[in-house]
Structure 1
Amino acid sequence: MPQALLTGAFLAALFYVLIPGPAFLALLGIGAGQGRQAGAWFMGGHLVGDLVWSTMALVAIIGAKTLGTALFDVLGLLCGLYLAWIGWRAFSARPQADGRSMLAVERPFRRGLIFGLTNPKGYPVALATFTALIAGSAQSLEFSTLPVLLAVSFLGFLVADMILIGVIGAGFVRRFYRRHETVIVKCSGLLFMGFAVQALWHSVPGLLGWRRA
């Protein structure tokens, strides 16, 4: 299996967790109000949802590639457009009137589990992120590679979770985030749009018949 494919799966899982979104903001609120232990329980529950959505995304990506490169290119095009849309929404977002994000959660593991499994953006974001980062090695995608890709993705999730757990609850992190929230959200939007360019770069030439054999 190409190293690029393994690296792409690892980075897709890593960025899927680290890029600021609803779960990131919820974790920041829990960490700010209840500390790292509560945040760790939240992320443990949310990990279940991460695994479910990433499994579905990889099955869809590999299935599309198995059925034909044209279908895979269409999938890449749609994912690229989706990433560009949510990236632009983040980049053009304006600060809320009430910037507080502190939460009081009695059962953070259950909250994370429910949050991860019911997040309506979980599947499309996972699909778009994985498509963008493994499209360059699409020729190596087979269902036989799925267990290894899931194992590498799981490692990416764990590393990202440990990074977040390591920083939440620190006073300087809370103060920095609240002071620079607008810049952080806009930078995450730019990152999403960068992923969109990556997805479109690999899919559009195939749809236009420009891809070299």
Structure 2
Amino acid sequence: MDQLSIYLPGILLAYSAFLLGIASPGPNILAILGTSMSAGRKSGVALAFGVATGSFTWSVLTVVGLSALLTTYAAALTVIKIAGGLYLLWLAWKSFKNAHSRHDLETRVLDGGQHTPIGYLIRGYVVQMTNPKAALAWIAIISLGLQQDAPFWVGAVIVCGTTILSITIHVLYAVAFSTPVMVRIYGRARRFIQMLLGGFFAFAGVKLMLSRS
């Protein structure tokens, strides 16, 4: 219980950063929305599972990579947290900028025409794994919950929790946005959501940069 109380705040902060990051649609989310609306719910769900699988892969690679790095170079944690904090602050700036933008949510349809569900799953995985921002995002997320000399179970809990959240939220996006109604509803609440995200990312970025343990 003592160990849990030490690491739980960071784990929950990592979950929150991941969850709110999904709430701010990037190219992958917009692809899921556009696929659900143009190719149907089944195709959107398949693409969502592909993106979620890619997120799982990135989380495992990041946890393993950071753990190995910190085992060899303990001082690297400070550099990693500063880099992750700066990335979160950039996300905060981007969210505040989007909140003041007049552009509504614009969905994205992947090129290449219709595919089978397996084809959409593979495309979702490839799109997520080839996203250059994914590595920076996962470094920031894992750094929030992974402290110096943290036991193995901390990284495993972060990976398992974010994987469950990833599958759930991405599939919900695919199901909910299979009709244009949800796009309009989200568009009306977009500015409030972006302001809320900006505030959280700014808080998490500052907290990560000030943390040294």
TM bracket (short chain): 0.7 to 0.9
Partner of 1:33: 38
Name the structure 2 match of 1:70.
Answer: 75
8 Å CA contact 1:25, 1:101 repeated in 2:
yes
Tell me whether 1:158 sits opposite 2:167 in the alignment. Answer: yes
1:191 to 197, 200, 205: 200
Q: TM-score, normalised by structure 2?
A: 0.75
Amino acid across the alignment from 1:141: A
Consecutive unaligned residues of structure 1, counting only runs of 5 or more, are: 207-213
| TM-score with structure 1 setting the length | 0.75
Gaps (5+ residues) in structure 2? none
Name the residue aligned to 2:114.
106
Find the residue that maps to 2:75 and give its secondary structure: helix
Tell me if the contact between 2:77 and 2:148 (Cα under 8 Å) persists in the aligned partners.
Answer: no
The secondary structure found in structure 1 opposite 2:132 is: coil
Change (3 A) 1:149 1:179: closer
**Residues 188 and 144 of structure 1: is their aligned pair in 2 closer, same or farther, counting only changes over 3 Å?**
closer
Cα distance in 2 for residues equivalent to 1:180 and 1:11: 20
Q: Is residue 2:127 matched to residue 1:121?
A: no
Alignment of 1:48-87 (within 5 A): 48-87=53-92
Alpha-carbon distance in structure 1 between the residues aligned to 2:95 and 2:189: 14
User: What CA RMSD, in Å, does the superposition of the two structures yield over aligned residues?
Assistant: 3.0
CA distance in 1: counterparts of 2:128 and 2:58, whole angstroms: 9
Distance 1:195 1:168 in 2: 29
User: Counterparts of 2:142 and 2:97 in 1: how far apart (Å)?
Assistant: 24
Q: Sequence identity, in percent?
A: 23
Cα distance in structure 1, aligned partners of 2:53 and 2:26: 17
Q: How many residues align?
A: 200
